[in-house]
Amino acid sequence: MTCTENLTPDEFSAELEQHPEIAVVALTRRPSSSEQVGELLRVALESGMPVAVWRRDTCPEHDANTIERSCSGRRFHRAFSPLLSAAAIRNLPETVRLLRNKAVMNSPKRAVRDCQGTVLLWDAPGRTAQPVHEPRYQPLENVQ
């Protein structure tokens, strides 16, 4: 989802239903930066999306209403998109960890700086639901 995404939650939900192969939603700004972005993340999670990724930052260029061809969100999109191939998704937790470490190094590359503050919400895409076993109820007066 780009900084200027204009999908409504219903449109996004319909898109996700039409493409069940999608396993990752990537946001170019933090979900709390706008009500719409937060709502799109909620829709993705409620649809069962196992992986979400976003930047901790907002998109200052769009927040200030400045027109820039390459805003920070677009640069994040361009730098992070290659990491979202089907083969690379399994490695996303380690990839994000390495990006965070590289971003704090002395003079990181531009693409690494653009991915600084990446957040990963991860539920292994291939994981199956595990049954929940609740302990048997025992009233407190019977506990010794």
Q: Write out pLDDT tens, residues 33-56.
A: 888 889 999 999 999 888 999 988
Q: pTM for the full model? A: 0.74
Q: In what order do the strands lie in the sheet with 118-122?
A: 24-27, 51-55, 118-122
pLDDT for 114 beyond 90: no
Indicate the angle between helix axes 9-18 and 35-46, nearest 10 degrees: 30
**Helix and strand numbers, DSSP H then E, in the chain:** 6, 3
Domain boundaries, the chain: 9-126
Instruction: Give the chain's radius of gyration (CA, Å).
Output: 19
72-76, 86-90, 117-121: least confident range: 86-90
